[in-house]
């Protein structure tokens, strides 16, 4: 099983346009892995992409992805979905289309029923974007709770009662990776997380001193919305997870690729994602 974190950034990519902070300036000069695109994951063995942030086209190019056969969505938040026009880049051949031809292998768009419904609500004045792609034969949509392909099993665990957010358990043979990119606090309780090899998780605020020396006070509301590193370590211990990789890294945390490498030395079993990080 080969999984690539093709996008490790947060709501805002790094470098942030027009920002001259230390982290963005370095990212602009050095490129990847100092630069980060929006949060997404690719399962290489089965050509499955999870989420389409605005700059997903750049993420796919950077990781050398050859084909996308399925797109799964974790939830409908714009930072995970607003790049859905990548479907046109992957499947729309305007010249063939002018002759009335439709693409041969449409992409499967799949998620929990409530999430799929949310995705279909995203649109322009012309209506639902996803339904437009479906009508054009670029995609077909499917409600799923599990997806089995070759020797890979993906299970979607709802993160909330309304099932508007999914956590993915990707397993193959005796290996198990959990992908919980966003909106997963409080972390749901499930036996299924037990003993995972890797937990890739977003939703985490890294450090008490953030961009431009911003001090995160004890009563800051971000602490309620996002995990702290201590809380992540509690989840790790609770489920006896071997290794945690933090993704969805915000530019606001004020940390560079090198800063994360330094921070890893102070932590046990906790690492930080970067664009193109391969896990096998
Ligand atoms: Zn910046
Ligand atoms: Zn997000």
> 15 C-alpha to center of ligand 1: Å?
6
Q: Is 65 helix (H, G, I), strand (E, B) or coil?
A: coil
pLDDT per position as a tens digit, 247-270:
999 999 999 999 999 999 999 999
> 16 C-alpha to center of ligand 1: Å?
5
Q: Is 131 helix (H, G, I), strand (E, B) or coil?
A: helix
Q: Domains plus CATH for the chain?
A: 3-279 (3.60.15.10)
Greatest pairwise CA separation for the chain in angstroms: 62
Q: Is 82 helix (H, G, I), strand (E, B) or coil?
A: coil
Question: Which ligand has its closest atom nearest to the C-alpha of 28?
Answer: 1
> 40 C-alpha to center of ligand 2: Å?
10
- For the chain, what percent of residues have pLDDT higher than 70? 100
Residues with CB under 5 A from ligand 2 (ion): 79, 182
pLDDT per position as a tens digit, 88-124:
999 999 999 899 888 999 999 999 999 999 999 999 9
pLDDT per position as a tens digit, 39-76:
999 999 999 999 999 999 999 999 999 999 999 999 99
> 98 C-alpha to center of ligand 2: Å?
37
> 78 C-alpha to center of ligand 2: Å?
8
């Amino acid at each position: 099983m080969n999984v690539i974190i093709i996008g490790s950034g947060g709501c805002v990519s790094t470098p942030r346009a027009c920002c001259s902070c230390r982290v963005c300036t370095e990212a602009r000069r050095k490129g990847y892995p100092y630069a980060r695109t929006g949060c997404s994951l690719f399962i290489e063995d089965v050509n499955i992409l999870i989420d389409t942030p605005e700059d997903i086209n750049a993420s796919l190019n950077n990781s050398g992805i050859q084909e996308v056969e399925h797109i799964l969505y974790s939830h409908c938040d714009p930072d995970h979905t607003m790049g859905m026009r990548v479907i046109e880049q992957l499947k729309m051949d305007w010249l063939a289309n002018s002759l009335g031809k439709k693409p041969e292998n449409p992409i499967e768009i799949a998620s929990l029923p409530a999430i799929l419904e949310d995705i279909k609500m995203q649109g322009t004045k012309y209506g639902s974007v996803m339904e437009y792609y479906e009508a054009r034969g670029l995609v077909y949509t499917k409600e799923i709770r599990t997806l089995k392909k070759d020797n890979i099993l993906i299970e979607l665990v709802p993160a909330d009662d309304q099932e508007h957010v999914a956590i993915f358990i990707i397993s193959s043979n005796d290996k198990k990776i959990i992908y919980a990119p966003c909106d997963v606090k409080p972390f749901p309780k499930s036996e299924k997380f037990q003993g995972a090899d890797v937990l890739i998780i977003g939703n985490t605020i890294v450090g008490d001193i953030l961009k431009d020396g911003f001090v995160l006070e004890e009563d800051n509301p971000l602490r309620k919305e996002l995990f702290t590193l201590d809380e992540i370590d509690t989840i790790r211990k609770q489920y006896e997870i071997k290794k945690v990789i933090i993704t969805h890294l915000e530019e606001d945390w004020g940390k560079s690729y090198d800063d994360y490498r330094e921070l890893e030395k102070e932590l046990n079993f906790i690492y930080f994602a970067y664009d193109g990080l391969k896990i096998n």
